[in-house]
Structure 1
Amino acid sequence: MPSQRVLGVAVIGAGKMGADHVRRIHDVISGARVTAVADIEAERAQLLADSIEGCTAYTEAAAAIAAEDVDAVLIASPGPAHEAALSEALGRDLPVLCEKPMTPDTASAQRILEAEQRLGRRRIQVGFMRRYDAEYVQLKRLLDSGELGAALMLHQRHRNLLMPPGFTDEMLISSSVAHEVDATRWLLDQEITAITVHKPTASSHAPAGMNDPQFVLLETSAGGLVDVEIFGHCGYGYQVQAEAVCERGTVRIGDERGPRISADGRWGARIPPDYVERFEGAYDREVQTWVDATRRGEITGPSAWDGYAAAAVCEAGLVSQREGGRVEVALIERPEFYE
């Protein structure tokens, strides 16, 4: 039911992303407050909870979600823990904003789809924040307008200064390229039908066991081709770019942010160091939109189906990464619930 009262939010995960969302809810957006923080590391959860008046720390997601002052849940824990937290929230009929991946594979994603459908109403929004980035929104509007004709190809680049410890070869696809997978489906309004992962010569800066960079080719249901360069250790900053090649022109985003400066014998613009800074505005709009919709009794934004579809593409991508060659994406029939 629509509510004008401030939402009590449980943030699950007190790492880099979870802490940033706690800051965002407390300092930036309106209509919500953090009432619970959960993390398996008790000290980290307590430290974050102590920074918010009236916030309680928990070491178990289920306990935080069950708290009486919790009206909604924001999941920012590692992907393998998402299914349990989502199931707990759905069991209590609570709205959820879940960072990607919704779940790490299609089997668990299907279980979440089925659980949400049994409720008879949407409760899950998946955190594909690029849909809330100003440049991506402009690109989407331009493509939808038809001004440049049909989109034929999409070039995407995703470069990180470096990846955190423990980041694996597989995570380049399941955690990083997952963003381009959703952006492709959203921008083109098409499903991805096949994926091929190519592994060029690895950078000398890549950790042992990681083939970095990688080049991914996506095929869409309308015959479009999309390429993605993922470079986890580019060494100079965090850079995300996209260029749509259309029948009557092209449009490109992500080239430069902030002022261009000429000084000390060189010119250029600053490149942000990570995704938290690059997509700060997108995260702010995403969470504010989720809170506003939740208070109206609605769920908007990327759905659990979008989370499932991304998992299916990445799952096929991991097969291609491991075995080589083109792999077709196996999607179940889209339930009418998500039309």
Structure 2
Amino acid sequence: MSSTLGIAVIGAGKMGSDHVRRIGRTVGGARVVAVADPDGDRAKEVAAGLEGAGAHTDPAAAIAAPGVEAVLIASPGAAHEEAVLHALARELPVLCEKPLTPDPAGALRVMEAELRLGRRLVQVGFMRRFDAEYERLKELLDAGGIGRPLFLHCRHRNASSPAFFTSDMLISDSVVHEVDAARWLLGQEVTAVTVLSPTATAAAPEGVRDPRFVLLETSGGVIVDVEIFVNCGFGYQVQCEAVGEAGTARIGDGHAMVVQSAGRWGGEIDQDFTVRFADAYDRQLRRWVAAAARGRIAGPDVWDGYAAAAVSRAGLTAAHSGTRTAVDLVERPALYH
């Protein structure tokens, strides 16, 4: 590895360009040397401000470009598997935005490729693990500060959903964050999923069942409930309350500055995940760059990506069938213990 880690960024959309900005402005020890996007003009536009960076339409070409020592994948989920496998074929560290793959079968193929190498090179971008509030809650639970956990109550709200959003994406693209956060906070696997649907909000696009209420059961007997509401209208909120045998702990209330004036008090609500989790994205990228420079990862691995995909698949089955659905996981390989 060189003293400045050369990174290929795959995907030049909102997430990819945001990561390029972070690498250039807030993360030391790294630079973008290649950008890939199916839209060649978009790739050129993002690469144009980066000294010596090449623009590509083929991810494989970007990954094979001179100076590439690590790969950041921020393309649509359906394209992740191919790009990850190209990177693993060159034994390059990877940070792949969630989902690792849209389905558990694809995640297993990535796992098989990594197992053949005998070391973990792929990190999945579940950035909540790097959020300061989530880290404090994790420390509290690990220390037994509220006793044995019994419940996690979660809310995940967006002001509005994009035009392409579907009912299934409430589970696969949104609730998947709660799935990973719950697994990590509790140190337990999700074993079953139930999805309940109230009357859809009038603000939802036609055909989209929003909001939904998702129940997750874990291997340790904890019940996790998730209110997912992607057209709430007022802002972006992510909240989590842990209820234990000896107390409770809640994060995500968003209490920053509170203004009192003219007989009223109040504050602001974040309108976008890139605002609420800006610091978490910075922390994630800094830690990954430092680890990738040593040929390692510093966060959720391929097993975590596979488990999230398996729970999402069970969640989609539960949503369509209206019945409780068990999560089917393969035996966890020793590499991921």
In the superposition, the TM-score normalised over structure 1's length comes to 0.98
Secondary structure of the residue aligned to 1:227 is strand
Letter of the structure 1 residue corresponding to residue 156 of structure 2: H
CA distance in 1, matches of 2:68, 2:163: 33
Equivalent residues of 1:199, 1:211 under 8 A apart: yes
Deviation of 1:5 (Å): 0.9
Q: Residues 189-338 of structure 1 correspond to what in structure 2 (within 5 A)? A: 189-338=187-336
Give the residue type in structure 2 aligned to 1:7.
Answer: L
* Count of aligned pairs between the two proteins: 337
Query: Which has the higher mean CA deviation after the structures are superposed, 124-133 or 255-264?
Result: 255-264
Maintained 8 Å contact 1:7/1:72: yes
Find the counterpart in structure 2 of residue 39 from structure 1. Answer: 37
Rounded Cα–Cα distance in structure 1 between residues aligned with 2:127 and 2:304: 13
TM-score normalised to structure 2 length = 0.98
Q: Within 2, Cα distance between the matches of 1:103 and 1:263?
A: 49
- Structure 1 alignment gaps of length 5 or more: none
Residue matched to 2:137:
139
Q: Does 1:171 align with 2:187?
A: no
What is the CA distance between 1:264 and its match in structure 2?
Answer: 4.5
Is the CA contact 1:256–1:269 (under 8 Å) kept in the aligned structure 2? no
2:83 maps to a residue whose letter is A
- Cα distance, 1:97 vs structure 2: 0.2
Quote the Cα distance in structure 1 between the aligned partners of 2:218 and 2:51: 49
- Indicate the RMSD between aligned Cα atoms, in angstroms: 0.9
Number of the residue aligned with 1:108: 106
Match among 123, 128, 131 for residue 130 of structure 1: 128
Determine helix, strand or coil for the equivalent of 2:238. strand
Range that drifts further, 49-58 or 18-27: 49-58
- Equivalent residue letter for 1:304: V
Percent of residue pairs identical: 61
- C-alpha deviation, 1:147, in angstroms: 1.8
* Runs of 5+ consecutive residues of structure 2 not aligned to the other structure: none
CA distance in 2, matches of 1:188, 1:169: 28
State the match for 2:12 in structure 1.
14
Partner AA of 2:305 in structure 1: G
Out of 148, 152, 155, the position equivalent to 1:154 is: 152
Determine the structure 2 residue equivalent to 1:24: 22
Give the Cα separation in 1 of the matches to 2:263 and 2:176. 39
Deviation of the 1:258 alpha carbon: 2.1
> Does the aligned pair in 2 maintain the 1:257–1:271 contact within 8 Å?
no
* Secondary structure, counterpart of 2:193 in structure 1: strand
Please identify runs of 4+ aligned residues in structure 1 that moved more than 2 A. 263-266
Which whole-Å deviations, capped at 9, do the CAs of 1:241-300 have from their partners, x for residues lacking one? 000000110000000242111234432221111111110000000000000011123222
Contact 1:205 1:233 in 2 (8 A): yes
Q: CA deviation at 1:60?
A: 1.0
Give 1:48 deviation, angstroms. 0.6
Residue 120 (structure 1) shift: 1.0
Decide whether the 8 Å contact of 2:92 with 2:295 is kept in 1.
no
Relative to 1, partners in 2 of residues 1:40 and 1:264: Cα closer, same or farther, differing over 3 Å? Answer: farther
Q: 2:197 and 2:136 mapped to 1: Cα distance? A: 32
Question: Is the contact made by 2:84 and 2:110 (CA closer than 8 Å) also made in structure 1?
Answer: yes
The CA distance in 2 between the partners of 1:333 and 1:265, in whole Å, is 60
